Amino acid sequence: MNTFLARNRLILLAYAGMVVLLLVTAMFSPGFLSASNLRSTVVLAAFVGIVALGQTLVIIVGGIDLSIPWVLNSAAIVMALLCGSQDTPLVWVVPLVLAGGAAIGFVNGAGVAWFGVPPIIMTLATNVILQGLILVLTGGSPAPSVPDLIKFLSVGRIGPLPVIAFIWLALALIATLLLSKAAFGRHLYALGTSATVAEFSGVPTARTTIVTYVISGLTAALAGMLLTGYSGQAYLGMGDAYLFTSIAAVAIGGASILGGSGHYLGTVAGALVLTILTGLLPALNLSNGALLIVYGAVILITVSIGSEIFAGIGSRLRGKGGSLDG
């Protein structure tokens, strides 16, 4: 039991912080714990959580994905343009959009793994290129209509629970299995801890990196389509808010921004914390600027903590001859 607590203390701390923040928000905002408001909180957190799934994997492997905003935006706009308000085209449009997100992720991963482009430069360039392409494609006026099925997936309910909560739960289970049980998860942690040691240990570093960015592209594209159903339209800039929220959710969940540690279960807590915090700000008469300050502070603190942790890990590795064991 002590070993379990020690291994997962940062994740448990994130959930404890979520509960405390939930109670504090309820004190300042009566009715915050009502069923309808909790459903809304889960729906909003789900969008952050789905986007942050891919970001979690990328950060664990030691990278970062700054192309998320316009991968999300591109997916939303392309789906709206191809489907309009019709459900029937979704049969081929959804796979097409997801494939497009995966292709963008592949380009990011290939640039990082094969050509040695720093992740921050590669993904930022991709983000800017996508922004330009969408502006050319739409002329600045994206389609205003959304298929009813997408709306149902985003804001519909099955019994008392939002449909998107089930989608998020399924993705969380898949991510947990990948990170905890699959060889791919072990490769992620090894690569994020030390790329050199991982390569000498037989980890397929290039393939692992590329697959990680492909998953990030997929989850961003999926979130873009679902977010369109929530907002009722696809609009330019709709993904911008999800860049720092995805990074902050991963950081709050206990992952090191420098790579090598973290888990999606922690990111789930981070997404909920950020969403609850967004609900607390109006109750305290604070603006969204305060939320941006929190995002920046969280990232700065976690990078500082991560640097100290990894300095200690590096010392232990050198003392053991570079082994990843123990």
Chain segment 217-231, per-residue pLDDT in tens: 999 999 999 999 999
Q: Which residue has the higher pLDDT, 289 or 253?
A: 253
Angle (CA) 32 274 26, round 5°: 20
- DSSP string over 155-184: H-EETTEEHHHHHHHHHHHHHHHHHHTSHH
215, amino acid identity: I
Domain annotation covers residue 77: yes
Domain annotation covers residue 306: yes
CATH number, position 115: 1.10.3470
Domain annotation covers residue 325: no
210 has pLDDT over 80: yes
List Cβ neighbours of 325 (8 Å cut-off, separation of 6 or more): none
The 10s digit of each residue's pLDDT in 245-285 is: 999 899 888 888 888 888 999 999 999 998 988 887 777 77
> What pLDDT was estimated at residue 11?
84
> What pLDDT was estimated at residue 40?
93
117 has pLDDT over 50: yes
Cβ neighbourhood burial of 268 (10 Å; 0-12, 13-18, 19+): buried
Q: What's the average model confidence in pLDDT over 36-61?
A: 95
Spatial contact of 242 and 48, defined as CB atoms under 8 Å apart: yes
Domain count, the chain: 1
325 has pLDDT over 50: no
Domain annotation covers residue 30: no
**Nearest-CA neighbor of 182 among 202, 156, 208, 206?**
208
Unique residue bearing structure tokens 């939930």: 22
Q: Is 7 helix (H, G, I), strand (E, B) or coil?
A: helix
Round to whole Å and give the CA distance between 105 and 324. 28
Domain annotation covers residue 1: no
Round to whole Å and give the CA distance between 10 and 202. 29
Q: In sequence order, which ranges of 65-147 are alpha helices (DSSP H)?
A: 68-83, 90-113, 119-138
> What pLDDT was estimated at residue 265?
94
To the nearest 10°, report the CA torsion of 255, 23, 173, 247: -30
Unique residue bearing structure tokens 């040695």: 116
The 10s digit of each residue's pLDDT in 291-307 is: 778 767 766 766 566 55
Domain annotation covers residue 315: yes
> What pLDDT was estimated at residue 322?
45
Domain annotation covers residue 116: yes
149, amino acid identity: L
Taken in order 294, 15, 24, 159, the sign of the CA dihedral is positive
Q: Which residues face 157 on adjacent strands?
A: 162
Spatial contact of 302 and 295, defined as CB atoms under 8 Å apart: no
Give the residue numbers spanning the domain of 267.
36-319
13, amino acid identity: L
- Confidence band for 326, pLDDT divided at 50, 70 and 90: very low
Domain annotation covers residue 47: yes
